[in-house]
Amino acid sequence: MECHVCGSDASREALVEGARVFLCPRCLHYGKPIERERKPVVTSRHRPERPARELNVVDGYGKKIQAARDKRGQTRQQLARELFIRENELERLEHEWMRPDVKLAQKLEKALQIQLIEDVSRKAKSDESEEQSATLKPRKRSKADLTLADIIDVKVNE
Ligand SMILES: [Zn+2]
């Protein structure tokens, strides 16, 4: 395309006195540049990622194990044998010198009927929603929600 004004290479289309003409960059100021139609930006479709189930061994697992074992009247040796683990391994677990992996924790859960694993991903989610509802509460509060004490307060202030 040639520039409508000077005849050199035109790069932009512009409106000059209402007419669409091509102008080179130097002559562009004679007209009103027509914005090129923007192509809709194709964004890669965001795939909602399902949070991976994150299992975590609960804090205080050692005491839980020990308490459950005591309740059953088992010695460490007996429970260790039942779980097919070494006695000193169980000892380390009870003292929390060693954190069990999920597999071992599940074994302990099953044997002792206790909960040692928490789903961290789900917990984080519920914590978040709790926080949200907590922050929404004050905003929702309307006159209808006022307690008697509040109403008395309002009247005194008026
Ligand atoms: Zn020109």
Domains and CATH numbers, the chain: 1-34 (no CATH), 55-120 (1.10.260.40)
Digit-coded pLDDT (tens) for 46-101: 666 666 678 889 999 999 999 999 999 999 999 999 999 999 999 999 999 999 99
Average pLDDT over residues 18-28: 90
Residue 34 alpha carbon to ligand 1 centre in Å? 16
Q: How far is the CA of 38 from the centre of ligand 1 (A)?
A: 24
Question: Which of 66, 67, 56 is CA-nearest to residue 105?
Answer: 56
Give CA–CA dist 96/64, Å, rounded.
11
Protein residues within 5 Å, CB atom, of ion ligand 1: 3, 5-6, 24, 27
Per-residue pLDDT tens over the stretch 132-152: 555 555 555 555 666 666 666
> For the segment 25-53, what is each residue's pLDDT rounded down to a tens digit?
999 998 888 876 666 666 666 666 666 67
Highest mean predicted confidence (pLDDT) among 20-29, 104-113, 142-151: 104-113
List, in sequence order, every beta strand (DSSP E) within the chain.
12-16, 19-23, 32-33, 55-57, 117-119
Residue 157 has pLDDT above 60, yes or no: no
- pLDDT at residue 58, rounded to an integer: 93
Distance 82 CA to ligand 1 centre (A): 91
Confidence (pLDDT) at 113: 95
Give the 3-state secondary structure percentages of the chain, helix then strand then coil, rounded to 5: 45, 15, 40
pLDDT for the residue 35: 76
